[in-house]
Structure 1
Amino acid sequence: IIRSAHAPKSMQTPSPGAGGLWMPFHCEDERTNEWASTTLQEYLEMEYQGHGAVEVVPAIIFKGEMMAGEEAEISGAHHPPPSWASNRDLGFSTVSIEDLVKGNTSHSSRPERGPSSAATAAIVNNGAGLSGGSDHKSRSTTEKKVHVPAFAERYHSAWTFHVPIVDSPALLGEFHQELIDGGADVNTNTLFSSASEAIEFANGCTGEDEIDAIVNCTGSGTLTGDESVVLARGVLRYYRRPPGFDTCMLIEDPPFASERYPLYAIPRGGYVAVGGTYLEDDIEASPRDEEREMLDRNAELLLPSDGMHFEPVGEWVGFRPVRPAGVAFGLNESLTRQANRKLKWVDNYGHGGAGWTVAAGC
């Protein structure tokens, strides 16, 4: 039995509007890397089997503003690779901007991969060809070229790797249909205002519909009254994907970006998601005019234009549920006792900006 206030592909929920990038982002939990690794294997297997909702692309994260003399050495000295970079399937490396621009890197080489099981192949082939309704056709990794923007020389170095991108509306639609086909009772127009209301509903289900556990995936933790969750507002615009554009780029360093205003482009299906913001406790539900102007400038910076002006084809605002103490994942003993029978309450919320990154792991 599944209850949700909105349908899975509704833009009023964070997941379909998100860029769908696999990469741990503002999910401060010691278990994140393990969850992310499990999810990475799932996505790579799907992509290997030809699932149209997952595409592996080259990725670049620019690090450290380029400065002169001793300042340049300082700028490049404080960017050790993140802990998740040790996963061999990513092909992660740190390169100089000079080598990146010249193409003298191993960035175009992706680790070889084969299928892990016939069972997995059978599952993912059922959804082959999904692309979120776009006409974009994914090319093999060997056909994908790395796009290095003109401003790259303003940075000291770069992290390069290969990363899965999830066409999130397509995959959510598939998950939803699988549940319905499997006989699940799915209602996407139900909003519980409290944990007590959800428990009352569960206790009222008897016979074949008896419920033995509630899994709370409300993101912000509102059902549990968890006031520690911080909503970090993200805003992005969608642009049509230029022919041959396959590079995911992310920057959080000056002179073009910051942690509050990251600069990124994520090719997803037939579109590119360009961002963005990371604004804690900002609850404005629509993009502001100045944010739209910023995102249009970001698109001009990041996308190969050949003199072409990019017109947005959509925009979106979402709120990342960041829980500083870590993801709430496991049995909630207090609410389990409140249920007053064998019903268990299990929490799974507060994944920050890593929802698609840890989706299969927790």
Structure 2
Amino acid sequence: MESTIYLDYAATSPMYPEVIEVMSEAMQTTFGNASSIHQFGRKSRGYLDEARAIFARSIHAKSNEIIITSGGSESDNTAILKTAEKYESLGKHIITTNIEHEAVLKPMKYLESKGFDVTYLPADKDGFVSAEQVKAALRNDTILVSIMSGNNEVGSIMPIAEIGSILKNSNPAVVFHTDAVQSYGSQDIDVDEMNIDLLSVSAHKIGGPKGIGFLYCRENIKLPSLILGGEQETKRRAGTENIPAIIGFQKAVELMMKDKKQRNAYYRKLKEKLVNNLKQAGVDLEINGSYDSSLPHIVSLHLKGIDAERLLIHLDLAGIAVSTGSACTAGNVDPSHVLSAMFGVDHPAISETVRISLGLGTTEEDIENVVIELSNIIKRLK
């Protein structure tokens, strides 16, 4: 293939051209420190306040409930570690799932080393955890529940509103955090209706820049700052604000909110075309998770009898970027903890899965070309 095709948007997305444009202008004209009282600082502060209002509006929150962070990992760490620190005197039990992102699971493991008791709810074969599981796991010493709203590998959408309703009525009250990094771009979120107390978002998943995100923190929950230093973000997150990135993030959110419904329908159409055309080409596959109750831009495919790592290399040589069902760090490939949790560690899907994720710029022609290349490569590998 002459051109390249990028289908790994669940990992990161290219920036919208409009985002690049506003960031480029901001880098040239807006350099003041938002904490300074002179006109340069006030100009930056104005952009910061405007962006915060847009972020809040996107999840039906208040502006003063938005904490600007460096992204999803910092937001998750702040929500989990600082909630545990603040409410430790009330209990040391936390509930999460066994298919969370590492930015949730690793803070949980850290807290376990500090004497906290963490319950990892098991996901079913479709990658779901039920509200009933959460209710059954609650204890008198439970202080925090952290459950992602949409899974980054198989796309399963969790019953966040049902869980929130249970936790709102629990006695004693329990803080509810959701990692919405993967779902924020496609799912409608109302933090009040869904009874969410803490919510993590990252800009680079929705066509914004890397290194910027936010943590929604309900105003009655006053968490200590994870990063110590200055008094930015009303003492909730130290560090000089990255105004050009914040402006870029705002633009990405505005574009996301503008055409979300049409974009979701388009992604579902492309996903259906991909699966149907692969089957028509004779590819032996199964969809991991639920096809209907999943994020519109993610499809996880078990390509039976095909080693995913070898397939990935061949696709890359053909100019096609997808990912496997594995986490690869510095060249070390570990089995996907999500697929292992869903199917068991010995299931063939663990080593025979590719994740294809759609986004800005994905076309029907891209899908058609991927089907041709993928089916031809699979025939050669067999």
Q: TM over 0.5, yes or no?
A: no
Q: TM-score, normalised on structure 1?
A: 0.22
Structure number having the greater helix percentage: 2
Q: TM-score, normalised on structure 2?
A: 0.21
Structure number having the greater strand percentage: 1
Q: Which one has more relative contact order, counting CA pairs under 8 Å at least 6 apart?
A: 1
